[in-house]
Amino acid sequence: MIMLGENNMNTIKNLSAFFLALAVMQFCGSETQAGNERRVGTAGANELLLPVGSRATALGGSMTAMVSGVEAIHWNPAGVSRGSGVEAMFSNMQYIADVNLNYFAVSSNFEGVGTFALSLRSLDFGDIPVTTVNAPEGTGETFSPNFIVGGLTYSRAFTDRIYGGFTMKLVSERIQRTSAGGLAFDFGVQYFSDFGLRLGVTLKNLGPEMQYDGPDLETFVQIPGQEPTARPRAVGLTAAGFELPSTLEIGVGYNFVPGEGHNLAVMGTFENSNFGNDEFHGGLEYSYSDMLFLRGGYAMQAPNNDDNIYGPTFGAGVKFNVTGTAIAFDYAYRVTDFFDANQWFTLKVGF
Each residue's pLDDT tens digit, 156-207: 999 989 999 999 999 999 999 999 999 999 999 999 998 889 999 999 999 9
pLDDT, mean of residues 29-47 = 65
pLDDT, mean of residues 230-248 = 86
Nearest to 39 by CA among 273, 316, 331, 317: 273
pLDDT at 102 (0 to 100): 97
CATH number at residue 288: 2.40.160.40
Q: Which residue has the higher pLDDT, 130 or 10?
A: 130
Residues spanned by the domain of 328? 6-35+51-206+245-350
Domain assignment present for residue 314? The answer is yes
Question: pTM of the prediction?
Answer: 0.87
Q: Sign of torsion, CA 17 19 20 24?
A: positive
Share of residues in the chain with pLDDT > 90 (%):
66
Domain assignment present for residue 73? The answer is yes
The beta strand positions in the chain, using DSSP E, are 86-94, 100-110, 114-124, 128-129, 142-143, 146-157, 162-175, 178-192, 198-206, 218-221, 233-236, 247-259, 262-273, 278-288, 292-302, 310-322, 325-336, 342-350
Nearest to 315 by CA among 73, 78, 58: 58
Domain assignment present for residue 225? The answer is no
Structural domains in the chain (count):
1
Domain assignment present for residue 323? The answer is yes
